Structure 1
Amino acid sequence: MRTGKDTEPRLSIAPLLLAICLSAGILAAPSANALSELQKIPGQADPQAADQQNSGQSQTPSSTSPGVPMPDPLVSKDSSQGSDKTPGASDDSKPVEVIYDISKVPEPVRRMREQIVEAAASGDLERLRPLFGSGAEQTQVSVGEPTDDPIGTLKDLSGDPDGDEILAIMLDVISTGFVHVGAGTPDEMYVWPYFAEKDLKALTPPERVELLRIVTAGDLSDMQEFGGYNFYRLGITPAGKWKFFTAGD
């Protein structure tokens, strides 16, 4: 006896399998095409071009073809012809030779410096008086007209009534490096500190620290804006004459 299921029409399996295969082929084709159309990675060799080159055929490179650009030269002609001048210095400036070895100066200069150090370290301003000299050869301690009483002038410049501050400044100044200026001229001198002859905008970090032992950071900023060192400086001639101890430019 046939059931109700036997009465339902049966589908042929062959057409069904054919439909599945056709569907799979249609879906796979675009995927294969997509892989073949991937963009080449810039700089990657073209297999077709390589085959042509190997077969002896030459190709003219296109200016628009992708590729890795050639790097710029490490050193250009313009940069190799740069100036060796200190940054911030004027065109006619020369490098400043800073001296720290006091043995390199004449004996009279060493002797006078030693006497100044001893007198200043004593805390007694009067001990400087014999070192000043007198008359036209007297040590200059103020800018402008010479003073008849250099000790009194230094006391007035000091922040305390005994002149201890000015003695401390003198010690700080003469303890720095120094420079030899005006060699072979009547103005030849050994000058402390060397900042008096240095471009303050070109100071190295150690030089800045050395200068800040004498002045404040605010003073340094003002000096850089002013254009030069304008605090106390001390000069001794090659003959051992204490020429000046003054502040200003």
Structure 2
Amino acid sequence: MKLHTLGACIAFLLWVGHAPAKTVTVETIEVSPAQGEDSPAASPETIPLGDLPGTLESADEVIVDVPDVLQDRPQILYNKSYLPKPVARMHSQMMEAALSGDINRMRIILESNEVMPTLSFGEIEDPIDFLKESSGDGEGFEILAILADVLDAGFVHVDAGTPQEMYVWPYFSRYPIQDLTPEQKVELFRIVTSGDFAEMEQYGAWNFYRVGIGPDGTLHYFVAGD
């Protein structure tokens, strides 16, 4: 082979090795489904109203959009980690007093407020004597059991950002009685009797015991009635 021919071959090979690679453009074409066929990716999932989430288990959980028919219902909460520390502290103190079986432990809690919490819509003299008188057994055991059941129920956070902001137990006291699901009615009957519920249906709202605690941990009420 002649030297000039060999040199030409080497030069050609070097040019091929350093030449930029060619690129190929691939075009993606969406093919519409045939007439009358539904595309699985485009078809939205239909969720029955009964399957919509109605509770918030933690403060970090994402709240989904719900139909307008549910917009006026408060969000039902169960996870105590949602509560501000002062509210959680008051809730814990009241639960401990209720489960202790000693009605007198409620005095410390009630008198820790600057203003006595509402226990009745009428005037009372001694709060512990009033709680005993309100209890079916006359010693306060029934009222403590009611308090424990109320505090153990789901709750709601209402009037956020206003002077009336409150954490309220049970959530039934701020929830439409006529809209309760079968599961919610089971929750309700852990606190009241069927006779109590029948009266509530006639009245149109919860009228049994409820607890209201302000965001600063102040106990505003433990009261029953209208």
State the TM-score, normalized to the length of structure 1.
0.61
Q: Which residue of 2 aligns with 1:161?
A: 138
Mapped partners of 2:137, 2:215: distance in 1:
33
Q: Which residue of 1 aligns with 2:224?
A: 247
Alignment map for 1:98-137 (pairs within 5 Å): 98-133=76-111, 137=115
On the 8 A contact 2:78/2:153 being kept in 1, the answer is: yes
Mapped partners of 1:196, 1:206: distance in 2:
17
Deviation per CA, 1:51-92: give whole Å up to 9, x if none: xxxxxxxxxxxxxxxxxxxxxxxxxxxxxxxx8425xxxxxx
Shift, 1:221, TM fit: 1.6
- Kindly indicate whether residue 71 of structure 2 is the aligned counterpart of residue 96 of structure 1: no
Shift, 1:134, TM fit: 6.4
- Ranges of 4+ aligned residues in structure 1 off by more than 3 Å: none
Query: 2:188 pairs with 188, 208, 211, which one?
Result: 211
Q: Which residue of 1 aligns with 2:167?
A: 190
Q: Which residue of 1 aligns with 2:43?
A: none
Q: Which residue of 1 aligns with 2:40?
A: none
- Kindly indicate whether residue 151 of structure 2 is the aligned counterpart of residue 174 of structure 1: yes
Shift, 1:96, TM fit: 1.4
Deviation per CA, 1:150-174: give whole Å up to 9, x if none: 1111111000121100000000001
Mapped partners of 2:92, 2:113: distance in 1:
23
Shift, 1:137, TM fit: 1.1
Whichever residue aligns with residue 140 of structure 2, its letter is G
For the residue of structure 2 that corresponds to 1:187, the secondary structure is: coil
For the residue of structure 2 that corresponds to 1:239, the secondary structure is: coil
Whichever residue aligns with residue 219 of structure 1, its letter is D
Shift, 1:206, TM fit: 0.8
Mapped partners of 2:116, 2:212: distance in 1:
13
On the 8 A contact 2:74/2:158 being kept in 1, the answer is: no
Shift, 1:148, TM fit: 3.2
Mapped partners of 1:110, 1:206: distance in 2:
26
- Which one has the bigger helix percentage? 1
Mapped partners of 1:107, 1:218: distance in 2:
37
State the TM-score, normalized to the length of structure 2.
0.67
Mapped partners of 1:135, 1:118: distance in 2:
18
Query: 1:85 pairs with 41, 50, 69, which one?
Result: 69
5+ unaligned residues in a row in structure 1: which ranges? 1-82, 87-92
- Count, aligned residues: 160
- Kindly indicate whether residue 184 of structure 2 is the aligned counterpart of residue 200 of structure 1: no
On the 8 A contact 2:98/2:148 being kept in 1, the answer is: yes
- Kindly indicate whether residue 213 of structure 2 is the aligned counterpart of residue 236 of structure 1: yes
The structure whose Rg is larger is 1
Mapped partners of 1:136, 1:199: distance in 2:
33
